Amino acid sequence: MAEASAWTENEIADLAAKVDALKASMGRVIIGQRDVIDLLVTCLLGGGHALVEGVPGLGKTLLVKSLAQATDMQFRRVQFTPDLMPSDIVGTEILEEDQATRQRVFRFQPGPVFTQVLLADEINRAPPKTQSALLEAMQERSVTFAGQTHKLPKPFFVLATQNPIEQAGTYPLPEAQLDRFLLRIDVGYPTEDEEMMMVGATTHAGLADADPAMDLNTLLRLQQLVRDIEISDSMLRYATRLVRATRPAESPVEAIRKHIGWGAGPRAGQALVLASKARALMHGRLAVTRDDVKAMLLPVLAHRVLRNFEAEADGVAIADILAALLAGVRAE
């Protein structure tokens, strides 16, 4: 694998300009939510998947759709419901008859997962059996059906939404599913000015689609550049220590030992490093800094560590626990 130093300055400047153009294109559709757009693009450049949480009406679906439009990627949406079956997502086999020979054969009919941007809307409304249909697709970028493995398009990006306040009729995502999301992105309420602009725009002429700002070849080059970005041994050890310190049995941080029931696994370290590299590129740097690791800690770990009963009963927020983690673990 090539190092970031193998890329020319002109190549890097051109790619950085394309990232800025991508964010600007989405920003013309999404009013406000600059931090959310940054995290979403960071996740895309890191080659991961995103779990987007927020109350209804904040534009989560529009956010995902605008990303697909701005990158000129194929987009499909699946509304997860209690009666959704795995075959409704990955596909199924249909029986066909050859008109000439009259022989009947089974042919695989691909499902909506065979796309580049998949919106899994309200993913926690489908039962675990259906949720698990995405496990192989998200990790291996493939679907195995009837003994045959079918590769998914490149890139393949899953954005799943959840409503954090309405839990009736929902099925909590299992840890194996949560661990496959690179980032958890929380979409908060807009400011007063942003909300006024949003209401005015959507009740007048409506919002226009996002303009294509990045082709697929450029996106794939950016994803490769992210992996080529350098990270020093000290920063790698810092990221590893942070992840290991989320495990109560071996954590030096009192807040972790007191409030966390289950810590993050090794995949969290991979996610933290990849997200930190993507953030470095977003800020025009070809090396990971401590600020990158700190900034990515919450979106990477918020869905990977489990609070214990005491923390939930006392209303201790996961953000406060992870802030204590940052304060208790030092870089070399």
Torsions phi, psi of 57, nearest 5? 90, 10
What are the distances in angstroms from CA 110 to CA 123, 144, 198, 286?
Answer: 20, 11, 37, 39
How is the beta sheet containing 50-53 ordered, strand by strand?
75-79, 117-121, 157-162, 50-53, 183-186
* pLDDT tens per residue, range 3-23: 655 667 777 778 888 888 988
- Domains in the chain and their CATH numbers? 1-86+113-228 (3.40.50.300), 231-332 (1.10.8.80)
Task: Please give the helix or strand (H or E) that residue 97 lies within, else none.
Answer: strand 91-97
Asked if pLDDT for residue 38 goes beyond 60, the answer is yes
Cross-strand partners of 230: 287
pLDDT band at 1 (very low <50, low <70, confident <90, very high): very low
**Can you give the pLDDT at residue 307?**
92
User: The tokens of 226 are what?
Assistant: 């992210």
- Determine the average pLDDT of the residues in 114-138: 89
* pLDDT tens per residue, range 151-207: 999 899 999 988 776 666 678 888 888 899 999 998 888 788 877 887 777 776 666
Asked if pLDDT for residue 58 goes beyond 80, the answer is no
Q: What is the Cα gyration radius of the chain? A: 21
* pLDDT tens per residue, range 299-312: 999 999 999 999 98
Q: Is the pTM here over 0.75, yes or no?
A: yes
**Can you give the pLDDT at residue 200?**
78
Asked if pLDDT for residue 225 goes beyond 50, the answer is yes
